Amino acid sequence: MTTYVLVPGADGRAWFWHRLVPEVQARGHRAVAVELPQDDSAGLAEYADAVVRAVDEPRDGLVLVAQSLAGFTVPLVCERLAVDALVLVNAMVPVFGESAGQWWENTGQGAARSAKAVRDGRGPDPAFDVLVDFFHDVPPEVTERALAEEVGGPSPTLFAEPWPLRTWPEVPTRFLQGREDRFFPIEFQRRVVQERLGITVEETPGGHLSALSHPAELAELICRPPTAAADREDRGHPAS
C-alpha cells in the first residue's frame, strides 16, 4: 500500500482534496490530506513542518503530491523524510534563490495567461476572476462549498523567502498538468518544466483545480505505477 500525502496550493486547506481522497483509497492506497498554516509569519520551513507532521509514522511507498504553490514546499520535505516519489499537479517549479513572489515574472506566467485568454476569446490581460480562472470546470455545488468559507490564503512570508535548494531532490518526479488550465496554461508549463526539471509534462483533463473537477481521472494518473519514462530524465539536473 502506498501512502499519498496530498499538499494543497494557495488555498491551504486539506478540504481541497476531499473528492480525490476516496478515489485514491478506492485504488487500494492510503491518502493523507495536509492542512497548511494560516499564519502570516509562516514560511517555507513551517509549511514543510506541516507536511512532515501529517506523516504520522514511517511508511513504505511514500509519495508527496503537490498542487500549484506546494511545488515550493514538497522538495524541502525530501530532506527530512524518505520519499519514494514526487507528483506535481499544476505546480510551480522553483529554482535556487527564487521566491514564490518572483516566480511569476521570472517564468513569464502573466504573458502566458494573457495569450491563453486571447485564444479562448476572453481578450488580453483579463482581470483575475476566481470563478473564471480557477472554478470554470468545477461542479457548481463544489464551487459553492469552496467559496462559502473565508480563507486567509498563503502567507506573505512564504512569498518573500528565497527557495533554498541548489538542486532538485534526487527523487523520481512526475508532473501532471491540466490541459484546460487557464492560470498556468499547458504550453507554458511544458516549457518551464522542461527548462527547470528536464522532464516531460503528462496531460490531465481539467483546469487548475483538477482535484475538484476531475478527481477520478486525476487519481488514476497519480496512482499509476512508476515507469522509467516517468522518472527524471536527468537525475542531476539542477533546479537553477
How many other β-carbons are positioned within 10 Å of the β-carbon of residue 177? 24
Q: Which residues are CB-neighbours of 102 under 8 A, at least 6 positions away?
A: none
Cell numbers linked to 32:
493523507
Is 90 exceeded by the pLDDT of residue 235?
no
Give the tens place of pLDDT for each residue, 109-168.
999 999 999 999 999 999 999 999 999 999 999 999 999 987 777 889 999 999 999 999
pTM of the model: 0.93
What's the chain's Rg over C-alpha atoms? 17
pLDDT single digits (tens) 81-123: 999 999 999 999 999 999 999 999 999 999 999 999 999 999 9
* Best CATH choice for the domain 3-227 from the list 3.40.50.620, 3.40.50.1820, 3.20.20.60, 3.30.300.10: 3.40.50.1820
Return mean pLDDT, the chain: 92
3-state SS record for the chain: CCEEEEECCCCCCHHHHCCCHHHHHHCCCEEEECCCCCCCCCCHHHHHHHHHHHCCCCCCCEEEEEEHHHHHCHHHHCCCCCCCEEEEECCCCCCCCCEHHHHHHHHCHHHHHHHHHHHCCCCCCCCCCHHHHCCCCCCHHHHHHHHHCCCCCCCHHHHHCECCCCCCCCCCEEEEEECCCCCCCHHHHHHHHHHHHCCCCEEECCCCCHHHHCHHHHHHHHCCCCCHHHCCCCCCCCCC
Pick left, alpha or beta for residue 97 (phi over 0 → left; psi -120 to 50 → alpha; otherwise beta). Answer: left
What percent of the chain is modeled with pLDDT above 70?
93
Asked if 30 and 3 count as a contact pair (C-beta separation under 8 A), the reply is yes
What gap in Å lies between CA 232 and CA 215, rounded to an integer? 25
Q: How far apart (Å, rounded) are the C-alpha atoms in residues 110 and 119?
A: 14
In the predicted model, is pLDDT for residue 189 greater than 60?
Answer: yes
